[in-house]
Structure 1
């Protein structure tokens, strides 16, 4: 492992030693603007799993953009979490040089700090938060475009993501249910642009639409929409918890239908 303070591996655990990470996540939740960071449909053995994923994947983007500040003496580093306190003050994550014997990483987690705290005076300038898109139009579903849905693939590869009462249905029956849900989702987004929720995945912005298989007001899954410039393509779906994890990386999703 490189001991270069400016080396930015893709994974947070390769960038810094973070002992008692669960406790760190709890501490961050205490100082950040109040938000529900727990799953509603999935059992997790980790506290605040949405916040935990948010920090891990935000760092990945931060590393891609090289938005980590290093102090002049190379003893401290920080990056912008993109979160704010209750009083709307940006929150940074601070690291200090790893002084353990034979350190695996150059950095060791120190603490989460508000922008105005004295610890950040070690840096001549503070890094910006992660950036995910340049064209805001990618965040809005263009209802004039054709949507091409690979229904068979969605069912074959994601049957275990469907509600239990649908998993034992025949492919034909499930296909009819899915086609109806997609039609309803398209009608819904025509009347309310906020129905389509953006997510960041593998360097691209995708859109999520609700799939209501049983009740018209309750989403069971999220349909993933990929942009192909002249048309949209849908070939997979996500559980609501998976969708919320991906969407929360950009911003707190509108709760019209996507609940963690």
Structure 2
């Protein structure tokens, strides 16, 4: 989905769901956005707020100061020079980039992931059942967190004046590395880079552009420095599984899609990340 179309849908839904003061509660926008074909998670954003912040020049956000429980976020179409409430601004040129979506405009992220899946060596990139809106959740998270890891490593993401690239860590059926190529974003006020596509070095227009711009080519991410960490010491005792520690103590590490598919039928998952803790007095 094109950036212009996404903005049109956002503004339309905000306008249709706004209160008398012009602000729309973000909690009420998810369903109408879906009905108009806009799924922010399919675009690669974990929260609707993250997508809206991309359009800081057109939409403003504010946080309800009077909420003592779950913080409430509101959005409205931005009026030039009119700043009301506690406005949450996205200072893109100052803020340290930590995610792929902050770094580059990816367009339809679901299509991006599907293109990568079709190019890469065959894998099962979804859980028990495939969700049409997010068909390959494992690959989506892999791409997002691979970029995050590359940010932590020195010179793994290659950039020059006009182009940028990184190694996805995946290979095609000939075991050739797959790279992601970007060009400078010409839309002022947006992410610095614009996604061009995935490529194999020297193959096709993007592959030829990659090798003409970067030598050496980007290296893949590394997650360990000592190979012995990958080998179990056979002289040690037989390992014992602690299921309570693996599952209960570390449930936050499990993908939300996995939890949704495997939770009991009468169990309701809730996002508690924004809930405030209330301390009750001791009588």
- TM-score of the two chains, using structure 2 as the length reference: 0.49
Q: Identify the residue that residue 19 of structure 1 maps to in structure 2.
A: 107
Specify the alignment match of 2:118 in structure 1: 30
Mapping of 1:199-238 within 5 angstroms? Answer: 236=250
Paired position in structure 2 for 1:186 = none
SS at match of 2:182: strand
Aligned position for 2:29: none
Q: Relative contact order (C-alpha < 8 Å, sep 6+): which is higher? A: 1
- State how far apart, in whole Å, the 2-side matches of 1:26 and 1:14 are: 21
Q: 2:158 aligns with which of 56, 69, 84?
A: 69
Provide the C-alpha distance between the structure 2 equivalents of 1:29 and 1:149, rounded to a whole number of angstroms: 33
Residues 1:240 and 1:91: Cα distance change in structure 2 (over 3 Å): same
Do the aligned residues in 2 keep the contact of 1:9 with 1:15 (CA within 8 Å)? yes
The answer as to 2:206 corresponding to 1:111 is no
User: So what's the TM-score if we normalise by structure 1?
Assistant: 0.53
**Cα drift, residue 32 of structure 1:** 1.2
Structure exhibiting the larger radius of gyration computed from Cα positions: 2
Are the aligned partners of 2:164 and 2:183 in contact in 1 as well (CA < 8 Å)? yes
Structure 1 residue 129 corresponds to structure 2 residue 217: no
Task: Tell me: CA distance 1:22–1:52, structure 2 relative to 1, closer, same or farther (3 Å).
Answer: same
Give the drift of 1:146.
8.2
Instruction: Output the CA distance in 1 between the equivalents of 2:239 and 2:100.
Output: 36
| Equivalent position of 1:140 in the other structure | 231
- Is residue 130–residue 136 contact of structure 2 (8 Å, CA) maintained in 1? no
Structure with more of its chain in strand, by fraction: 1
CA distance 1:154–1:45, change in 2 (3 Å): farther
Q: 1:81 aligns with which of 162, 168, 175?
A: 168
- Mapped contact 1:37–1:50 kept (Cα < 8 A): yes
In the TM superposition, what is the alpha-carbon distance from 1:83 to its structure 2 partner? 0.8
Contact 1:32 1:86 in 2 (8 A): yes
Counterparts of 1:61 and 1:54, CA distance in 2: 10
Q: Gaps (5+ residues) in structure 2?
A: 1-90, 259-283
Match of 1:97 among 170, 184, 189: 184
User: In structure 2, the residue corresponding to 1:78 is in which secondary structure?
Assistant: strand
Distance 1:239 1:14 in 2: 23
Say which SS state the counterpart of residue 53 (structure 1) adopts: helix
Determine if contact 1:26/1:48 at 8 Å carries over to the other structure. yes
1:42–1:241 Cα contact (<8 Å) kept: no
Number of aligned positions between the proteins: 161
Cα distance in 1, alignment partners of residues 132 and 242 from structure 2: 31
Aligned counterparts of 2:118 and 2:225: Cα–Cα separation in 1: 32
Once the two structures are TM-superposed, the CA of residue 141 in structure 1 deviates from its matched residue by 3.0
CA distance in 1, matches of 2:174, 2:122: 11
Deviation sequence 1:77-123 (CA, Å, 0-9, x none): 000001111112111001111111322x2111111111222111112
From 135, 141, 147, the counterpart of 1:47: 135
Aligned counterparts of 2:241 and 2:125: Cα–Cα separation in 1: 31
